[in-house]
Structure 1
Amino acid sequence: MAKPVRAALGETWLSCQVCKGDMFRERSVLLNSTGMEFMKLAWADESATGLICWTCGYVHLFVNKNIKLYRADK
């Protein structure tokens, strides 16, 4: 199972939009487009950082590469 992380964007620590939790599970998410799928080039689409709230499961997507992840002790 994935380890929990905390995330910050600059000096701002992120919290869940739904439950205000501050621990997440991180995964890369492909932002597929219909045209690229049709041409079988989905692998070339842009990706985002997905932060899944450890408490409620809400998925937050970030395309900003400046997001920093820090290991959290659960």
Structure 2
Amino acid sequence: MAKPVYAQLGEVPVRCLICGGDTFWEREVKLNSTGMEFFNLAWANESATGLLCWSCGYVHLFVNNSLRLYRTRDGQS
């Protein structure tokens, strides 16, 4: 299983919009569009950073380059 991370956008710590949790796991998320899917070019779609809340599972998407991720100290949430 992936290690939990903290996230910060600029100087602001990221917290889950649903439960207020501050630990996430990260994954790349493709931003598929209908046109690209129609022409079998889904691989060329842009991607975003997905932060999945460690506590409740809510998915937050970021396309901002200011997002910074930090590992938790002990690998636990």
Supply the distance in 1 between the matched residues of 2:11 and 2:19 (Cα, whole angstroms).
21
Percentage identity across aligned positions? 68
- State the 1:66 CA deviation: 1.5
Q: Please, which runs of 5 or more residues in structure 2 have no aligned partner?
A: none
TM-score by length of 1: 0.97
Supply the distance in 2 between the matched residues of 1:41 and 1:12 (Cα, whole angstroms).
36
Runs of 4+ in 1 over 6 A off after TM superposition: none
TM-score by length of 2: 0.93
RMSD in angstroms over aligned alpha carbons?
0.6
User: What residue number does 1:57 align with?
Assistant: 57
User: What residue number does 2:9 align with?
Assistant: 9
Say how many residue pairs are matched.
Answer: 74
* 2:49 partner SS: strand
Q: Please, which runs of 5 or more residues in structure 1 have no aligned partner?
A: none
